Amino acid sequence: MDPKIRELTERLKEKKMLLAEEIEKRKIAEEKLIEARQAFKLALKEMPVIIFATDDDGSLVFFNREFERVTGYHAADLARDSGMIRFLLQVDEDELPVKHDASGEWRFQSKDGREKAVFWSQVSEYPPLPGWQSWRVGLDITELKATQARAKVLSGLLPICSNCKKIRDDKGYWSKLEAYIQDHSEADFTHGICPTCSLQLYPELYDKGKKDR
């Protein structure tokens, strides 16, 4: 065999071997990447925050258990309706909160008809994931909002009479301390008498007690 042909043949074999090794390395890297993505999605599935993702046309492509718990919709419900996100939000496509500039509080109606409130974070735009045009991480704040609505909190400076201890409200009316606190907080009053006042009001009881000793 011609030496040049032999040399070319050997070099071709070497290149083929290098190519095969490179293909194998890429294959292993791709398998590891797939495993990492699956592990990442599994972790997202179990996280105690709401996570969902949509594709280019706004269809739901991923949701986790917290999403199911808060919305009331499960895998079977969501699989039957690719437009579930629009149904939950009851808004037009161009108003979906999965846009890149969407954040803040989002309200929707769950499966059982109750209104839910969720606060979304934009941090979920990073890192991007294949097939996920947009995905969001949200915290269910429904109970927090309900508690805030029920709670009445006293704060700031309260104008109080230095003599009778009445408090002036924001309309200029003076109210008894007890009435003002009851109207502006969740507190209520039970009445008793302290030892100092008891001694001043009923000194005879203390004198009698001393004599009985």
Instruction: List the domain boundaries for the chain.
Output: 1-46, 47-149, 167-212
Q: Model confidence over 131-140: pLDDT tens digits? A: 787 777 889 9
Split at pLDDT 50, 70, 90, the class of 88 is low
What's the rounded Cα separation, in Å, for the pair 81 and 87? Answer: 9
Do 135 and 52 touch, CB atoms closer than 8 A? yes
Evaluate if residue 85 carries a pLDDT over 70: no
Q: What percent of the chain has pLDDT over 70?
A: 77
141 pLDDT band, cuts 50/70/90, is: very high
Q: How does 47-83 read in b/e, with b if 16+ C-beta sit within 10 Å?
A: eebbbbbbeeebebbbbbbbbbebbebeeeebeeeee
pLDDT grade for 89, boundaries at 50, 70 and 90: low
Residue 133: alpha-carbon gap to chain centroid:
21
More confident residue, 2 or 145: 145
Nearest to 41 by CA among 12, 9, 65: 65
In the predicted structure, residue 19 carries a pLDDT above the cut 80: yes
Alpha helix (H) residue ranges in the chain = 3-46, 65-71, 75-80, 84-89, 142-150, 177-184, 195-201, 203-212
In this structure, which amino acid lies at residue 91? V
Superfamily of domain 47-149: PAS domain (3.30.450.20)
Tokens 């045009």 belong to which residue?
133
pLDDT at 209 over 70: no
pLDDT of residue 202: 82
How high is the pLDDT of residue 38?
86
Position 149 pLDDT exceeds 80: no
Q: What is the pLDDT of residue 92?
A: 46
How far apart, in Å, are the Cα atoms of 126 and each of 57, 81, 132, 135, 137? 20, 27, 11, 9, 11
pLDDT of residue 200: 84
Structure confidence by residue, pLDDT tens digits, 158-179: 888 988 889 888 888 899 888 8
**Alpha-carbon distance values, 209 to 40, 102, 194, 205 (Å):** 76, 74, 17, 6
pLDDT at 26: 93
Pairing of strands 134-140, 167-168: unpaired
Q: Answer whether residue 23 shows pLDDT above 90.
A: yes
- Examine the pLDDT at 100 and tell me if it is beyond 70: no
SS3 label, residue 150: helix
Q: Is the peptide bond before 159 cis (omega within 30 degrees of 0)?
A: no
Looking at every residue in the chain, the average pLDDT score rounds to 79
